Chain A
Amino acid sequence: MKKKQKIAQRHKISFKLNSKDVSCDVKASAVLMDVIRDVLELKGTKPGCREGECGACTVLINGSPINSCLFLAINAEGKKITTIEGLTKEDGSLDIVQHELVQHGAVQCGFCTSGMAMSIKGLMNQHEKSNRGAGKNKKGQPSREEIKKHLEGNLCRCTGYVKIIDATEKLFVKEK
């Protein structure tokens, strides 16, 4: 009985969620997705498989995409977490990733879209980071094959991915 109580012990964690400071008590075993959805009540992060296969629950941790269904919430301590709600700007206007997905017809049922958008944002962050201070040696836009490879972890059953990849390619053309 004592052992059981120890496992069930709750931990206070504090992190930045969509640029705001939050803290909450979580079980050591709680995954970030459940904390985001059920404790912090942001339902945009989607539960697709709970085993890290489908990518619908992708969020950014310090700018990099992860499957929030496999990430222990206690490891979010002190980190910056961005969900789909945080991608949308304060005034309600769309982030460029969301905008291009809409314009390209890359959204059908939409269940994969939150994770897909965060994954694409992660690719943009990664690209920007590797180009920071690179001077003349800046990397060009990722190839279509690199984009596909990056999105491999995000499953979509509606679109056949073509429009999603088109939208992502366009983002990098714009970025230049």
Chain B
Amino acid sequence: MEHLTDRKRAEGRGSARSGTLHHIAMMISAGALVILVPLFLIVVVPVIGAAHAEVAAHFARPFPALVAALTIVVAMHHFRGGVEMMIQDYWQGMTRKLAILAMILLSYGTAAAGLYAIARLAL
């Protein structure tokens, strides 16, 4: 510790210069969700709880299938960005890295599972 200068201690701990791009990406996915979420509420949510045949027939139509697929993908992408910010605010070091990695797996895994299910129902 005694051999470290102030400069050496600070090096590598500054901005990654990716924050602005991250924020712009969040604004773009938010803008997409402003359109997708109301469509999702109108076209997809009412079928939750319906009989199996009705659900299968519903997602066999292109519009509900596309709205559900896009909403899941964009929402999970937006979640990945948001949860990363929260983790970076409250955790450090290896915990932070592992938590971000786990959330990337969870968000894109969830999106993939949703897409697979819609494809199975639609085709």
Does A pair with B? Answer: no
Residue numbers of A with Cβ under 8 A of B are none
Residue numbers of B with Cβ under 8 A of A are none
